[in-house]
Amino acid sequence: MQNEPTVRLTAVRRLYEVSARMGAGRSLAETLQAVVDGVVDGLGFGIAVLNLRYPDGKFEVIAVSGSPEAREALLGTVSAADIFDAEFEIADVWGGLRFVPHERLPEGEVVGWVPDVPISSDPDAWHPLDALFAPLHSSDGELVGMLSVDLPEDQRRPGPVHRELLEIFATQAGIAIDKARLTDQLLAEKARLEASETTFRLVFEGAGNGMATIAINGPDRGRVLRVNDAFCRITGYTPAQLVGSPLMDYLQDENAGQTDREVAELVSGAGPYRFERTFRRADGHDIWLGGTAAIVDEGNKEQQPRIVLIQIDDVTARKETERELQHHAAHDALTGLPNRRLLQHRFTTALQRSRQSGRRGVLLFCDLNHFKQVNDKYGHEAGDQALREIAGRLLSAVRHGDTVARLGGDEFAVLAEEIDGTDLTTLMRRIEDSINRPLTGIDVPVTASIGTAVVSPYTADLDELLRTADQAMYHAKRNYRAGLT
């Protein structure tokens, strides 16, 4: 069974893949289908249905994925504005999601399409009459649609991780639909009125997400030509500060030449370019902007610059959520130390450096003596606090750049690169001294047994190294016990 950090990491990867596919659609129809396909292909549900909300409040099923039967039965059906009200009155509120368990449905005829799947007696199993909805909102809070999902891949009611991913996805989907709807409006106006300046200005200024036009050639190359109110609100700058200034004054390249490569891809004619970049606000804080860039005016090459329209939203909260999920997947939940997954990554890097330099490192395997007595005498809560205290001591004992990881239970590992015999002896003594000190509020004499294994250019893998260090640790533990007799 996968542990929660592994599930979270897999979910984050799925979210990245699904978001990329969803943002690639150039029209509203393509975006809507990308949303439901993304749910089925990447978020672990067998069926996804999207109802688009019209200005009069009615809903129409525009996109279905995962079941040809569901698509035939539901696609194109139009429902009244209050179609979801009765179900939401009996629904469980899961953050931004609404879950309607089958047992709360009133007796009588079932409205809609129901999958023909076996019914489990397990109370936590997914029932074919269960319903899970994700309302989709634009960036300014307008309800733009309703996403419903069915048949989770594990055949169980979704847990916290999948609910969280679906909710994050729904937030992005709502903004993507709003953007696609706006893009359709812009393209329709451009085709009908040949990009009438008046019409463009009305759509541009009235947009709920930030918009700006940038010159990509001519004397104003790279400079901001126009911004709307939403762009100023998101970034904290006034139009006077932004217009005429180079956009690169505010963006930060994560790697050399990033902006030049993105501009080259945009002008190659591949279509709208989707980006996520850090942006320095007027107050000095960095935020994450996500959006699209597209050439909307080819211009007269002799008199006018080519113009790029960019649309942005502040996606800082989502990026922080993704970063938190990645942190949980690589760190021990109790102590905050790197877990075995992150230790493996750092070992691989250390091994590459060792093979390049010829310098050796050491892996130390630390096992706590008498720690079971702490749990037996004081309880597991005190034991957990003791492990956190020991983790902090280990971090203080090692050198800068060394990795301290928790392998599980009362076992820890220290990865020390480029260390010789004298420094290793000093490091081991510092570790032993830090652990051997009395623990706060605990009179059990907890000590450490340490085994070592050399990280050399000839080391095969981390598992082999851990086995060698583990055997050395048990030898040290036997010697420790013999010294007590």
Q: pLDDT by residue (tens digit) across 265-275?
A: 776 666 677 78
Q: In 364-391, which positions are buried (b, 16+ CB within 10 angstroms) versus exposed (e)?
A: bbbbbbebeebbeebeeebbebbbebbb
Per the structure block, which two tokens stand in for 449?
Answer: 């047994």
Per the structure block, which two tokens stand in for 333?
Answer: 């939940």
CA angle 150, 154, 160 (to 5 degrees): 80
Helix (H, G, I), strand (E, B) or coil at 160: helix
Per the structure block, which two tokens stand in for 336?
Answer: 């905050």
Each residue's pLDDT tens digit, 15-33: 555 555 555 545 788 888 8
- Residue 255 in this model has a pLDDT that exceeds 90: no
Does residue 145 contact residue 133 with C-beta atoms inside 8 Å? no
Span 276-303, mean pLDDT? 75
Helix (H, G, I), strand (E, B) or coil at 353: helix
Identify the CA nearest to 160 among candidates 95, 245, 243: 95
User: What's residue 398's pLDDT?
Assistant: 92
Catalytic residue among 178, 332, 410, 433: 410
Cα distance between residue 320 and residue 318, in whole Å: 5
User: What's residue 271's pLDDT?
Assistant: 62
User: What's residue 24's pLDDT?
Assistant: 52
Per the structure block, which two tokens stand in for 356?
Answer: 């390049």
Provide, rounded to the nearest whole percent, the portion of the chain with pLDDT above 90: 29
Each residue's pLDDT tens digit, 424-463: 999 999 999 999 999 999 999 999 999 999 988 888 789 8
Span 266-288, mean pLDDT? 79
Measured in degrees and rounded to the nearest 5, phi and psi for residue 51 equal -95, 120
Span 247-257, mean pLDDT? 75
Domains and CATH numbers, the chain: 4-177 (3.30.450.40), 195-320 (3.30.450.20), 331-484 (3.30.70.270)
Span 189-212, mean pLDDT? 64
Q: What is the DSSP string of 230-294?
A: HHHHHH---HHHHTTSBGGGTEE-SSTTHHHHHHHHHHTT---EEEEEEEE-TTS-EEEEEEEEE
Helix (H, G, I), strand (E, B) or coil at 434: helix
CA 108 to chain centre: 42
Q: What is the DSSP string of 23-62?
A: TT-SSHHHHHHHHHHHHHHHSSEEEEEEEEEPTTS-EEEE
User: What's residue 50's pLDDT?
Assistant: 93
Cα distance between residue 402 and residue 363, in whole Å: 10
410 catalytically annotated? yes
Beta strand spans in 298-439 (E): 307-314, 361-369, 403-408, 411-416
Residues 6 or more apart in contact with residue 373 via CB below 8 angstroms:
444
Cα distance between residue 104 and residue 342, in whole Å: 45
Mean pLDDT, the chain, whole residue set = 82
Provide, rounded to the nearest whole percent, the portion of the chain with pLDDT above 70: 84
User: What's residue 269's pLDDT?
Assistant: 65
User: What's residue 195's pLDDT?
Assistant: 45
Q: Is the pTM of this model over 0.75?
A: no
User: What's residue 358's pLDDT?
Assistant: 85
User: For 429, which DSSP code?
Assistant: H
